[in-house]
């Protein structure tokens, strides 16, 4: 409830901040003022503080405070399980009941010359050749 309220306030404040900033008149000049002229043109000179200027500072500060509070509320918020997580937890005990063969913990001995495989068993004998058919 508190999280949703903060989120709604942050969105409303962000929209107000956008409107206030866009309604303000720009100082103009941009990079063109760097080519020459006085320092007042580059630094902007002293302007009268308008209601839009004050509103932009207030809504900007409020935006920062709301964002900080929202991040704190989100970190302490308990996150519920999704449907996928529930299904995976239900299937996990069923998969663990299958017996698993133990892993080999010692390295296999090197093969002995004249044998095949890592067990050192002699190579199987080739099958006996079939005799040729007898001629009449």
- pLDDT at position 13, please? 96
Within a domain: 15: yes
How many structural domains are present in the chain?
1
Question: Which structural domain, as residue segments, surrounds residue 62?
Answer: 2-79
Within a domain: 122: no
- pLDDT at position 106, please? 75
* Mean pLDDT in consecutive groups of 10 residues from the start of the chain, 136 residues: 91 96 72 53 61 92 96 78 80 62 71 62 66 73
Within a domain: 129: no
Taking the model in full, what pTM does it have?
Answer: 0.47
Q: Is the distance from CB of 108 to CB of 118 less than 8 angstroms?
A: yes
Within a domain: 108: no
- pLDDT at position 1, please? 83
- pLDDT at position 11, please? 96
Give me the DSSP letters along 80-136: PPPHHHHHHHHHHHHHHTS--PPPP-SPPPPPPTTB-STT-PBPPPPPPPPPPPPP-
- pLDDT at position 105, please? 73
Which tokens go with 12? 């409303």
Give me the DSSP letters along 59-77: HHHHHHHHHHHHHHHHHHS
CA of 107: how far to CAs of 114, 118, 121, in Å? 21, 10, 17
- pLDDT at position 34, please? 56
Within a domain: 12: yes
- pLDDT at position 48, please? 64
Within a domain: 102: no
- pLDDT at position 79, please? 65
Within a domain: 95: no
């Amino acid at each position: 409830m508190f999280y949703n309220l903060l989120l709604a306030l942050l969105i409303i404040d962000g929209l107000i901040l956008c409107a206030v900033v866009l309604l303000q008149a720009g100082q103009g000049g941009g990079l063109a003022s760097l080519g020459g002229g006085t320092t007042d043109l580059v630094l902007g000179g002293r302007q009268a503080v308008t209601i839009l200027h004050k509103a932009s500072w207030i809504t900007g500060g409020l935006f920062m405070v709301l964002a900080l509070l929202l991040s704190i509320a989100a970190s302490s918020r308990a996150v519920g399980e999704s449907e996928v997580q529930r299904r995976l937890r239900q299937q996990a005990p069923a998969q663990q009941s299958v017996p698993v063969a133990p892993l080999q913990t010692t390295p296999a001995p090197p093969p002995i010359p004249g044998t095949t495989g890592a067990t050192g068993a002699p190579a199987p004998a080739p099958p006996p050749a079939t005799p040729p058919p007898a001629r009449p």
